[in-house]
């Protein structure tokens, strides 16, 4: 029914699953993120590592897209992509980025802000070689973010690289690799009833500790 108006304004949900307080979050937001991530995995949320990555270009125009979290350490959050993509160029223009996770089944959001840096070539190689063959060929075949005349160029590129690397180890393209988002702010959001949600923010201090506060929903 294409002409039927959508009843979007009437869609609403009351969140009642859980609560979040300052004590539960603790002193280290990366540790607490691990806890929430594990709980999201246990809840069998699909694409649990999917996160929105926001970048800004040289004209301060924001751009957002989903990428997959592929590593988490005390230093930060890692994902992999094409360094020559639009996001790669935006990151050169402005290394300040934001990430956002939404685990709707747990009524939780995590917002992360920080600076981004490339991961080492060794780490890139290790991850690249752990990927399935098709994904490795895809990294060669797709000039990510560039305009292409039609779909067939991708298949053509894919077949070309499949032949070129037939019987040999597929090398990592120079333009493909990871980024580490080093967080300076992390906010944990737990949905509560009547839009009275819990928001706990941790901001990194010069001495490396995290300053905790509660924000109004
Ligand atoms: C679930 C999902 C996961 C994705 N994971 C990645 C990823 O890990 N790396 C990536 O470069 N693009 C990923 N993409 C594609 C990006 O959203 C985006 O289309 C692509 O990176 C090009 O973005 P850009 O033109 O802004 O650079 C994913 C998309 C979806 C929907």
Residue 99 has pLDDT above 90, yes or no: yes
Measured in Å, residue 138 CA sits from the centre of ligand 1 at 13
| pLDDT at residue 177, rounded to an integer | 98
Please tell me the pTM assigned to this model: 0.96
Instruction: Give phi and psi for 56, each to the nearest 5.
Output: -130, 140
- Distance from Cα 172 to the centre of ligand 1, integer Å: 18
**Alpha carbon 121 to chain centroid, angstroms:** 20
Contacts 24+ apart (CB under 8 A), 204-212: 209/27, 210/27, 210/28, 210/29, 210/186, 212/22, 212/25, 212/27
Active-site option among 131, 195, 199, 214: 195
Supply the pLDDT for residue 164: 97
Instruction: For ligand 1, say whether the CB of 23 is within 6 Å of any of its atoms.
Output: no
Evaluate if residue 94 carries a pLDDT over 70.
Answer: yes
* Ligand 1 in reach of 157 Cβ (< 6 A): no
The yes-or-no verdict on residue 36 having pLDDT over 80 is: yes
Atom of ligand 1 nearest to the CA of 66: 17
Mean pLDDT of 200-215: 98
What is the pLDDT averaged over residues 139-144? 98
The per-residue pLDDT for 1 is: 62
pLDDT band for position 142 (cuts 50, 70, 90): very high
Average pLDDT, the chain: 97
Verify whether residue 131 is a known catalytic residue. no
Q: Is the CB of 67 under 6 A from ligand 1?
A: yes
Q: Mean pLDDT, to the nearest integer, of 174-178?
A: 98
Does 193 have pLDDT greater than 70? yes
Give nearest CA residue, ligand 1 atom 4. 67
* Residue 167 pLDDT exceeds 80: yes
Domains and CATH numbers, the chain: 8-127+175-214 (2.30.110.10)
């Amino acid at each position: 029914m294409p002409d039927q108006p959508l009843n979007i304004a009437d869609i609403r949900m009351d969140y009642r699953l859980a609560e979040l307080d300052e004590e539960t979050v603790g002193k280290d937001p990366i540790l607490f993120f691990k806890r929430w991530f594990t709980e999201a995995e246990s809840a069998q949320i699909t694409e649990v590592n999917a996160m929105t990555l926001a970048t800004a270009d040289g004209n301060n125009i924001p751009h957002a897209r989903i990428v997959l979290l592929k590593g988490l350490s005390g230093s930060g959050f890692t994902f992999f992509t094409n360094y020559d993509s639009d996001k790669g160029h935006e990151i050169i223009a402005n290394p300040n980025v934001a990430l956002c996770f939404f685990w709707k089944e747990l009524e939780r959001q995590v917002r992360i802000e920080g600076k981004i840096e490339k991961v080492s070539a060794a780490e890139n190689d290790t991850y690249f070689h752990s990927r399935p063959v098709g994904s490795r060929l895809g990294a060669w075949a797709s000039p990510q973010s560039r305009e292409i005349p039609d779909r067939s160029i991708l298949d053509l590129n894919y077949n070309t690289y499949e032949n070129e690397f037939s019987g040999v180890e597929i090398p990592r393209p120079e333009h493909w690799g990871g980024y580490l988002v080093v967080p300076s702010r992390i906010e944990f959001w737990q949905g509560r009833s009547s839009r009275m949600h819990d928001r706990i923010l941790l901001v990194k201090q010069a001495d490396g500790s995290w300053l905790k506060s509660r924000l109004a929903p």
